[in-house]
Amino acid sequence: MTNLEQGNGTSRDDLLQRLALMETMIAEGRRNTGRFGWVFILWGLVCLSGIGGSYLWPQSYWVWPILIGSGFLIQFLGIAMHRRSGSWPSDSIKSRSVAAVWRMMGIAIILYAAPATVTHTIHQIAYIAAIFMFLGMAHATSAMILRWRAQGVVAGLWWAGGVATYFVPRDYVIAIYVAEMICCMVLFGVYAMMLERRRAAGALQDQVEHHA
């Protein structure tokens, strides 16, 4: 380690400090994903309701626009409440990077889905596969930034779904869609929220023990 000090001017303490900072940022990033677990659940439920609505009213063009609009409204309200309650996530570099990934993914999906809906291209297999690919890419990037294996597995599931849609008969595509929404949206959201709750409970217990 003395070599390090002489070689490139980086001391062992400095390296340890950097490592600690990196670990703190990664933990913060994961915590923020956990705090936003409800967004995954919300969109999972919106998409599942859309499938149900389309099944009940197959001729209606308004099912998806209404549900997606409601999804946005609920998300904005939820975020506003988050900000008011003071539990808005911290602005570490990793958190900003992950936030950038999800914001841009949201914009990309809107830009892709809106014209596809208007031009009636959403029945194409490549459209559904593409949506799975976008979501998988966002999860994979976030997983790589936060070094989070569970999220990496979710990315793998999205991509596997995207590949599967090309191979299975058309009738099964809807089954893949429902399975993806349940496993990768709702269950992942519940899992992320559970982790965050457990961490918060642990931190509270530590505080109580410290005061005692």
Instruction: Give the residues lining the site for another protein (CB under 8 A).
Output: 14, 17-18, 20-22, 24-25, 93-94, 96-97, 100-101, 103-105, 107-108, 111-112, 115-116, 118-119, 121-122, 124-127, 129-130, 133-134, 136-137, 140-141, 144-145, 155, 159, 162-163, 166-167
- How many helices (DSSP H) and strands (DSSP E) are in the chain? 9, 0
Angstrom distances, CA of residue 117 to CA of 57, 104, 126, 177:
17, 20, 14, 17
144 and 93 Cβ atoms separated by less than 8 Å? no
Q: Tell me the two tokens of residue 63.
A: 């099912």
Instruction: Please report how close the Cβ of residue 194 comes to another protein at its closest, in angstroms.
Output: 25
Element (H, E) at 123: none
Instruction: Please report how close the Cβ of residue 42 comes to another protein at its closest, in angstroms.
Output: 21
Residue closer to another protein (CB basis): 114 or 194: 114
Instruction: Please report how close the Cβ of residue 121 comes to another protein at its closest, in angstroms.
Output: 5
User: 189: left (phi > 0), else alpha (psi -120 to 50), else beta?
Assistant: alpha
Instruction: Please report how close the Cβ of residue 60 comes to another protein at its closest, in angstroms.
Output: 22
* Strand, helix or coil for residue 59: coil
Instruction: Please report how close the Cβ of residue 45 comes to another protein at its closest, in angstroms.
Output: 24
Residue closer to another protein (CB basis): 103 or 197: 103
How far apart are the C-alpha atoms of 55 and 22, rounded to whole Å?
48
Residue closer to another protein (CB basis): 45 or 142: 142
What beta strand segments (E) does 24-104 contain? none
Instruction: Please report how close the Cβ of residue 112 comes to another protein at its closest, in angstroms.
Output: 5
Residue closer to another protein (CB basis): 45 or 162: 162
Residue closer to another protein (CB basis): 120 or 212: 120
The whole-angstrom distance between residue 12's C-alpha and the CA centroid of its chain comes to 36
Count Cβ neighbours within 10 Å for each residue of 35-47 and write b for 16 or more, e otherwise: bbbbbbbbbbbbb
